[in-house]
Amino acid sequence: MKKQIHLKINGIPVTVPEGTTILQAAKQANIEIPSLCYLKDVNCIGACRICVVQIVGRKGLVASCVYPVEEGMEVLTNTPAVRASRKTTIELILSTHHKKCLSCVRGNNCELQKLSYDYGIDEDRFKGEEPIYKIDDSTPYVVRDNNKCIQCLRCVSTCNKIQTVGAIGQIRRGFDVHVGSPFDLGLSTTSCVGCGQCIVSCPVGAIYERSNIDDVWDAISNPNKKVVFFTAPSIAATLGECFGMPVGTNVEGKMVTAIRMLGDVSVFNMNVTADLTIMEEAHELIERIQTKKPLPMFTSCCPGWIKFCEHNYPELLPHLSTCKSPQQMFGAVLKSYYCQKNNIDPKDLYVISVIPCTAKKFEVTREELSNHGIPDVDVAITTRELSRMIKGAGIAFKDLPDSDFDQPFGVATGAAAIFGATGGVMEAALRTAANLLDGTNEKVDFMDVRGVTGIKEATYRIGGTAVDVAVASGLGNARKVIDMIRSGEKNYLFVEIMACPGGCVNGGGQPVQSDSVRNYSELKAKRAAVLYRADREGELRASHESPVMHLLYDEYFEHPGKAKAHALLHTTYTPRDKN
């Protein structure tokens, strides 16, 4: 047990474990010290100097995010000297900041804008040469605007330390220093996987998703298009945050109502094809175990992880499940089964996926995820983009009544709901695999693979076989798991990997929460709790129990892994250069 340190912050007694920083300790006194470069578990470098405080009896100011507490220390966070220092620092940052706040995607949700208001900033106090950078819009999923970058390096730390991708870093020196890709080339030339974690870590509007909102509005207004939306499992757990609702609020019913109010559209539940993914994936896992095909089998739902594997571990591609992601499976089902049942030409069906993930924007562009030149999914929009569409349409979201998804793709199981949390795909697959192997196995709760810990391991006996499994979220943790497998230290049969720490609930397309929320609350756990609650309270908790699965296989796919199912619901992967 760590030694306890006693100190005072603005005269308030505080007791914290040894090694705690002043910034962390201040929260116990209900004081939030402002910062820009600090982000819990991501970046702690003391570079921005916004978090400076004064220590009684010592000269100068110190950066509270990196300064550890000491016994008997007295800290002052709001003296004239502290406030003057912070104000000057903010004004210096603004001297080279492209102040297009009215049209910025982070307007009213920008840490720099908030601090400027709180400290009564004169944005033109320091006028100097403002560097002009070319906007990098070379990828289909993210846009980088260095004209708004404040050099906090949170995105760099996320990409290099948390995700271990290394697509961006600091380039050049002095006044010319900026964040960019090697040789100042576009992100499309790098091994960027599109996870979007740089977006949710950025405190300003220097990185944001490439918007497809206009494409969606155009489709809705096109009388020759039949427009279909479907929403990923975690959207209902996070969309409310965009409208000021508490973290952890389930807004599924309001979400369906709001989307339906956007125009003449159908609204389906992507949880349906999460169930379908489990039916195919569980069958594939059993077949691999029984036939000694490449093991361990890795899940393939996350396009960020898939692209990471293609760039960094091409020798593992035969170990990836061949199942398409739930997003792409839904598109394939809609443009085959659904079109045939409703006499719709697939070319006239416009499929919109609402997802928590910017990598899904890349996924819809992959040639192997199309049929005769027709993409499975036409466009993917993030949680944030959907919220902007709802706001732009003048819809009072919080006052909406609840609605149900349209049929026949409205009913899904709890196993599908938990897809949005790390460990959810693993647990859902185990529920069905155990039943298929044992016949009567009705186990539904696999607690060892739950929680937001970066790496989780467990062993279960299924059909008389000991199945060692692992779950990793965050690509840095994925590397650790893969290294253990390659060295022979671990011998897993089944591995789930999600690119984003905590899974889809913390995806790169999710609502950007303020630092006061991200630094001082368990955001990922609160969001995931919504999904586990939906699972626990639902009537159906295993994918093989879904009536929609019986409908699809009885009427169209026959059986998991059969020829038609394999042709439409499975895919292949491509080795890529490691830049």
Is CATH 3.40.50.1780 the right assignment for the domain spanning 214-569? yes
516 assigned to active site: no
pLDDT at 382: 98
18 assigned to active site: no
Q: Which of 301, 302, 309, 323 is catalytic?
A: 301
pLDDT tens digits for range 553-564: 999 999 999 999
* Tens-level pLDDT at each residue, the chain (579 residues): 789 999 999 999 999 999 999 999 999 999 999 999 999 999 999 999 999 999 999 999 999 999 999 999 999 999 999 999 999 999 999 999 999 999 999 999 999 999 999 999 998 899 877 889 999 999 999 999 999 999 999 999 999 999 999 999 999 888 888 999 999 999 999 999 999 999 999 999 999 999 999 999 999 999 999 999 999 999 999 999 999 999 999 999 999 999 999 999 999 999 999 999 999 999 999 999 888 889 999 999 999 999 999 999 999 999 999 999 999 999 999 999 999 999 999 999 999 999 999 999 999 999 999 988 899 999 999 999 999 999 999 999 999 999 999 999 999 999 999 999 999 999 999 999 888 877 666 778 999 999 999 999 999 887 777 889 999 999 999 999 999 999 999 999 999 999 999 999 999 999 999 999 999 999 999 999 999 999 999 999 999 999 999 999 999 999 999 999 999 999 999 999 876
Element spanning 154, H or E: helix 154-157
Q: Which of 310, 363, 496, 545 is catalytic?
A: 363
Residue 270 vs residues 228, 275, 366: alpha-carbon distances, Å: 11, 9, 20
Tabulate helix, strand, coil % of the chain (nearest 5).
40, 15, 40
CA angle 60/63/67 to nearest 5° reads 105
Beta strand spans in 305-454 (E): 349-355, 370-371, 374-375, 379-382
How far apart CA 504 and CA 232 sit, in angstroms, is 9
457 assigned to active site: no
Phi/psi of residue 246, each to 5°? -60, 145
284 assigned to active site: yes
Q: Which of 18, 287, 368, 522 is catalytic?
A: 368
161 assigned to active site: no
Burial class (CB in 10 A: 0-12, 13-18, 19+), 238: buried
Check if the beta carbon of residue 43 is closer than 8 Å to that of residue 153.
Answer: yes
The CATH fold assigned to 4-78 is: Ubiquitin-like (UB roll) (3.10.20)
Provide CATH code, domain 94-209: 3.30.70.20
pLDDT tens digits for range 224-277: 999 999 999 999 999 999 999 999 999 999 999 999 999 999 999 999 999 999
280 assigned to active site: no
Half-sphere exposure of 457 (CA within 13 A, CB side): 11
pLDDT at 440: 65
Which pTM was predicted? 0.95
Q: Which of 116, 234, 321, 473 is catalytic?
A: 321
363 assigned to active site: yes
Query: How confident is the prediction for the chain on average, in pLDDT?
Result: 95
321 assigned to active site: yes
Dig out the tokens for 32 from the structure. 């939030």
pLDDT tens digits for range 28-60: 999 999 999 999 999 999 999 999 999 999 999
Domain spans of the chain?
4-78, 94-209, 214-569
What is residue 439's three-state secondary structure? Answer: coil
How far apart CA 531 and CA 140 sit, in angstroms, is 29
How far apart CA 64 and CA 101 sit, in angstroms, is 29
